[in-house]
Structure formats: C-alpha cells, structure tokens
Amino acid sequence: MIYPMSKKVLIVEDDKFLSDIYQNQLQKEGIETQVAVDGKEALAFLQKEKPGVIILDMIMPRMNGFDFLEALRKNNEWNDVSVIVLTNLGQEGDKARCHELRECTYLVKTEVEIDQVIKLIKEKIS
C-alpha cells in the first residue's frame, strides 16, 4: 500500500507530560498529531496511517526505540518517514546504534529547546 506524504506527526513517548507539551505546541502550529506510549503502539498506528515525521523516545516500556527502529527498517513502506530521535541517551554508542538502524536526526532532550524541535519538524513536513 502506498500512502501520500503526510503532514501528521507521530509522537512516540511514554512520558505523558512531554508528549502533551509537544502535542500542544504542534497543534498550535496547525500540525495534526498522534501519540503512542511505546514502540508497539506506534507500529499499530503505522499499520493504519503513515505520518510525515516520527518523534521517537528510546527508553520506553514493551518496545524501546531501538527495537522500533529495527521494525521500521524491515518495512520499505516507511522508508520515507522522517525520524527525530528525542532521548536522554547521549552516549556516542547510542547515537551510532541508532544511525546503524536508520537514518535519523538524533537529539538529546536536555540539549535542545522545544521551539528548536518544532522548527525542525515543520521543516521536515513542508
């Protein structure tokens, strides 16, 4: 199944406070969002819809971000979805592992402002 490029953003984050902040900011910008609390829920969403951008935390219950990226890599239909990893994992080894699994933008939560993330998302879906 081929989907048109979407301007929807899928936020994959188990921290409700953070996902609410990003969802509210994106909706203020007129960007439709969906939230998944872990990789399994995100994969279920992807079976129904294809977002333009995925914001992905790496440390989550049931299915972590690394396993989610592995699942994304196995499905060619999702190759053109932009992935922004937004995590607390700042080690070079974590970044390298992430990039081995899939091309992505890797951001450490404590090193980036919300406005910078919103701007990056808008660039990727425009």
Task: For the chain, list the domains and their CATH numbers.
Answer: 9-125 (3.40.50.2300)
Continuous H helices in the chain: 16-28, 39-48, 65-73, 92-101, 114-125
**pTM for this predicted structure:** 0.91
For 13-55, the pLDDT digits (tens) are 999 999 999 999 999 999 999 999 999 999 999 999 999 999 9
* Nearest alpha-carbon partner for 81 in 105, 58, 107: 105
Give yes or no for residue 4 having a pLDDT over 80. no
Q: In b/e form, how buried is each residue of 12-47, taking b as 16+ CB within 10 angstroms?
A: bbbeeebbeebbebbeeeebebbbbbbbbbbbebbe
Going across the sheet that includes 9-12, the strands are: 33-36, 9-12, 53-56, 82-87, 105-108
